[in-house]
């Protein structure tokens, strides 16, 4: 099984090619930056700082932390073409180094780390317009600086999200021939995927985090020009069921999310003709989302990762559509 299916367009239920390309070109020229509508925390907004840029500008990347390094994996590079590039950032020295490339160019993949093992899951290959969804799963061996192929997803798809929860990796949502609510769980010790209750709201370009023993699926969209979701749905492995969580202040796709022990953060994102500079935090005590210091460089197609309590947000695109960047910024809550 090669984990691939037939090529698809990157939008769901495709309209005429010319219309979508026109929308992309227009968005890239005039995309408006949107502030968060959430109430602003003026007492403890946190702060951002610009760091050493990525060696390779990319968007639609997978981002994870392994051994206190921030890995930026694959994505769309020059000419909106897929890349296999893997680079790792060392916060202690503010420097980057290049790691072994993925076995194949991949963008819109998900990534998660479980028991000190880093996995890259699904995504697309092909570009800049016709994309093929992937079911491939790769594991990175840091000691050998190499990649190995693991058991493929049951349902190949890209623009999905993943998070490690209780020693398992949960891969949710994404799209192949239209958006899906597929929810698969990976047992790394057995190298085996199993099906789990589907995400109630099918969507792609969403984010996922493990928080307080549950899986949170945040935001996402139906298509580039279609519905943009503020939806938050929470999976509880104890009951093997989903519940509705506190909706985001505004719907969008292409956002990043991460969690600290007592807080969930979301960053950036895009919607038609709009790009977000949002930094928003879910406040458990107040059961609400609040706005923090905005992302200095509004972006989408990003990931977020935590090292020593600081949140790193590298790469992405600076306008709706294709607009890759090498920006690397860190948020201190």
Tell me whether residue 2 is in a domain: no
What pLDDT was estimated at residue 220? 98
Tell me whether residue 246 is in a domain: yes
Tell me whether residue 1 is in a domain: no
Tell me whether residue 101 is in a domain: yes
Query: Which range of residues forms the domain containing residue 172?
Result: 8-332
| Rounded Cα gap, residues 204 and 198, in angstroms | 13
Which pTM was predicted?
0.92
Tell me whether residue 270 is in a domain: yes
**C-alpha distances out from residue 28 to 112, 190, 257, 275, 318, Å:** 30, 44, 24, 10, 9
Tell me whether residue 225 is in a domain: yes
Tell me whether residue 71 is in a domain: yes
How many domains does the chain contain in total?
Answer: 1
The string of pLDDT tens digits covering residues 170-222 is 999 999 999 999 999 999 999 999 999 999 999 999 999 999 999 999 999 99
Tell me whether residue 189 is in a domain: yes
What pLDDT was estimated at residue 31? 72
| CATH number of the structural domain spanning residue 262 | 2.120.10.80
Give yes or no for residue 128 having a pLDDT over 90. Answer: no
């Amino acid at each position: 099984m090669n984990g691939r299916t037939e090529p698809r367009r990157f939008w769901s239920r495709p309209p005429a090619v010319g219309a979508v390309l026109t929308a992309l070109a227009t968005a890239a020229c005039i995309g408006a930056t949107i502030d968060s509508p959430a109430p602003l925390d003026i007492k403890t907004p946190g702060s951002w700082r610009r760091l050493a840029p990525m060696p390779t500008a990319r968007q639609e990347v997978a981002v994870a932390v392994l051994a206190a390094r921030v890995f930026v994996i694959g994505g769309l590079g020059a000419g909106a073409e897929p890349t296999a590039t893997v680079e790792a950032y060392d916060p202690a020295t503010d420097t980057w180094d290049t790691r072994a490339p993925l076995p194949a160019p991949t963008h819109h993949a998900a990534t998660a780390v479980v028991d000190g093992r880093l996995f890259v899951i699904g995504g697309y290959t092909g570009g800049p317009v016709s994309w093929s969804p992937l079911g491939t799963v790769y594991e990175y061996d840091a000691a050998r600086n190499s990649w190995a192929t693991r058991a493929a997803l049951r349902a190949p798809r890209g623009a999905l999200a993943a998070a490690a929860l209780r020693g398992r990796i949960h891969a949710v949502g994404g799209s192949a021939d239209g958006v899906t609510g597929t929810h698969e769980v990976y047992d790394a010790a057995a190298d085996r995927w199993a099906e789990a209750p589907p995400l109630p709201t099918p969507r792609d370009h969403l984010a996922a985090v493990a928080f307080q023993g549950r899986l949170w699926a945040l935001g996402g969209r139906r298509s580039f020009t279609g519905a943009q979701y503020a939806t938050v749905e929470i999976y509880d492995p104890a009951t093997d069921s989903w519940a509705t969580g506190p909706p985001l202040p505004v719907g969008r796709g292409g956002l990043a999310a991460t969690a600290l022990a007592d807080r969930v953060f979301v960053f950036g994102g895009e919607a038609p003709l709009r790009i977000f500079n949002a930094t928003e935090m879910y406040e458990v005590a107040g059961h609400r989302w609040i706005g923090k210091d905005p992302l200095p460089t509004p972006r989408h197609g990003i990931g977020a990762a935590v090292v020593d309590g600081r949140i790193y947000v590298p790469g992405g695109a600076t306008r709706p559509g294709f607009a890759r960047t090498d920006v690397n910024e860190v948020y201190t809550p």
